[in-house]
Amino acid sequence: MNKIMKYPIYTLLLGGILFSCQEDVDTNNFGLPTSVAKFSVTEASSREGSGNQQVRVYLDKSQEGNTLIDFSVGGNITLASNLQSGDVRLLTESPLLIPAGETEAFIEFDLLEDTDFESEAEILSISLTSIVEGNARISTVDAERIYQHHIDENEYELRLKWDQNSSSNMDLVVELPNNQVLLSENTNEVERVVMSNVDQNTPYLVSVWYSEGSVAVDYEILYQKAGSESELLQTGQFAANEANEEFSLTSGNGTHQYKLTRLDTELMLIPR
């Protein structure tokens, strides 16, 4: 009778040991709860060229040992290096270290200035990918493991359109406050000029120059900011006899002139 009772008792004891081990899986077998690594925010935005930025990565529980977190960087930006310029310079290398006993660390990067016009809004994306070392796991929630930084562009593109089948030639000329002059370039039958860091409190002189032709010509002036649709600023018309091969900011011959100002993020063009 006693021999028969030993087996059920042994089986129960063995089952209890196995059950105890299964309960301990999420504690790394040291009684320390596994931490969850995540970002403190989902997204942020800053102006292009605004310099140093950082995003916080934290553990919901501190650990007795170091935690190393691998991360990747993406988005539609160009990373700067010693060999090339770019939109963002990464200052923190992967893997990210959260020292023993601490619960946070920061991924740092610089937002750089450029003079290129981007038709799409730029976004830097950082993703927590894996735990290289430590008693932790990456959050499975997308909003906690992926961070996006939106870059507000400083560049505006002015565009001049007209019927280029009319045997005429026109240019867009912008005089900056420092007396520098920008002359448009023709791409895809549109005259384009890119303006950087347009000051909200400073007027700019914009001239439409009818340099060649002997016919009346209608034109449109538009602008676009990265990530936005193009907006119509002004329309105008040159008479057939207004063309002038010599350009002058003062005489006005062969030109229509406007004052350009910025109101918040919008541009306004006022005839002079």
Check whether residue 262 and residue 172 sit in a common domain: yes
Check whether residue 57 and residue 134 sit in a common domain: yes
pLDDT of residue 99: 97
Check whether residue 60 and residue 90 sit in a common domain: yes
Check whether residue 147 and residue 172 sit in a common domain: no
Complete DSSP assignment for 148-192: EEEEE--EEEEEEEE-TTSS-EEEEEEE-TTS-EEE-EEETTEEE
Q: Which of 128, 152, 176 is the last residue of a domain?
A: 152
pLDDT of residue 222: 95
237 or 154: which carries more pLDDT confidence? 237
| Residue 64: inside a domain | yes
Q: What is the mean pLDDT of the chain?
A: 86
pLDDT digits (tens, 9 = 90+) for 178-237: 888 999 998 888 999 998 877 777 889 999 999 999 999 999 999 998 778 889 999 999
Collapsing DSSP to helix, strand or coil, 146 comes out as: strand
| Tokens 């060649």 -> residue | 212
- State the residue range of the domain holding 90: 33-152
Check whether residue 92 and residue 174 sit in a common domain: no
| Residue 47: inside a domain | yes
What's the pTM value of the predicted model, to 2 decimals?
Answer: 0.71
pLDDT digits (tens, 9 = 90+) for 64-111: 999 999 999 999 999 998 878 889 999 999 999 999 999 999 999 999
| Greatest pairwise CA separation for the chain in angstroms | 123
Distance CA 137, CA 197 (A): 43
Check whether residue 165 and residue 209 sit in a common domain: yes
Burial class (CB in 10 A: 0-12, 13-18, 19+), 235: exposed
The total number of structural domains that make up the chain? 2
Q: Which of 106, 135, 152 is the last residue of a domain?
A: 152
| Residue 3: inside a domain | no
| Residue 135: inside a domain | yes
Burial class (CB in 10 A: 0-12, 13-18, 19+), 26: exposed
pLDDT of residue 169: 92
Check whether residue 135 and residue 201 sit in a common domain: no
What's the pLDDT band for 32 if we cut at 50, 70, 90?
low
Check whether residue 50 and residue 161 sit in a common domain: no
pLDDT of residue 31: 54
What's the pLDDT band for 20 if we cut at 50, 70, 90?
very low
pLDDT of residue 191: 94
| Sheet containing 231-238: order of strands | 185-187, 190-196, 155-162, 217-225, 231-238
Indicate if the pLDDT at residue 21 is higher than 90: no
